[in-house]
């Protein structure tokens, strides 16, 4: 899945185009190769911000609201959406239940390995990235621990 800054750029660009844009042309305008554009579009679909129709990306009402929102409101919108994702919700709830609300990265990685295999590390990185954006939980690069945002 895509980094949220690219997603925000895509959603803003589609809004500027009137809420619908040709994906091929849009990729060129954003200087994104197809391999770089597709994960961003997939993220927009997963979050419910857009859908693809006949080669076009079309904003949903939620996508339009995201495009029109300020940064704080965008974070709230994303937080509400990503908490529906099973992996992110599991990490968040696990952190909430921990006495210190602080858990080693290896705890989550070991459990994700069983479900995602070689992709476990990437899945955890995506979850951390999205949660950081939404200010749900964070990751300490020095201690390699996840923790709830204050």
∠ CA 105-46-144, nearest 5°, is 10
What does the domain layout of the chain look like in residue ranges?
4-68, 78-148
Q: What percent of the chain has pLDDT over 70?
A: 99
Mean pLDDT of 72-82: 95
Q: State residue 134's pLDDT score.
A: 93
Class of domain 4-68: mainly alpha
**Residue in the structure block whose two tokens are 């204050």:** 150
Least confident among 1-15, 49-63, 76-90, 102-116: 1-15
78-148: CATH architecture:
Orthogonal Bundle (1.10)
Q: Is residue 1 pLDDT above 70, yes or no?
A: no
Dump pLDDT digits (tens) for 10-66.
999 999 999 999 998 988 888 888 888 998 999 999 999 999 999 999 999 999 999
Give the DSSP letter string of 103-126: EEHHHHHHHHHHHHGGGHHHHHHH
3-state secondary structure of 71: helix
For residue 26, the cross-strand partners are none
Q: How confident is the model at residue 2 (pLDDT cuts 50, 70, 90)?
A: low
**Residue in the structure block whose two tokens are 């305008």:** 29
3-state secondary structure of 30: coil
pTM: 0.86
**Does residue 135 contact residue 79 with C-beta atoms inside 8 Å?**
yes
């Amino acid at each position: 899945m895509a980094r949220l800054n690219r997603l925000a750029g895509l959603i803003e660009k589609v809004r500027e185009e009137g809420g619908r844009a040709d994906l091929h042309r849009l990729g060129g305008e954003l200087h994104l190769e197809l391999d770089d554009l597709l994960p961003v579009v997939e993220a927009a679909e997963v979050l419910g911000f857009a859908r693809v129709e006949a080669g076009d990306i079309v904003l949903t009402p939620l996508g339009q609201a995201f495009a029109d929102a300020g940064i704080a409101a965008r974070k709230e919108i994303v937080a509400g959406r990503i908490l529906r994702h099973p992996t992110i919700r599991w990490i968040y709830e696990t952190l909430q239940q921990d006495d210190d609300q602080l858990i080693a990265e290896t705890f989550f990685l070991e459990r994700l390995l069983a479900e995602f295999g070689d992709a476990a590390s990437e899945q955890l990185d995506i979850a951390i990235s999205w949660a950081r954006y939404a200010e749900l939980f964070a990751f300490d690069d020095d201690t390699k621990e996840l923790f709830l945002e204050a």
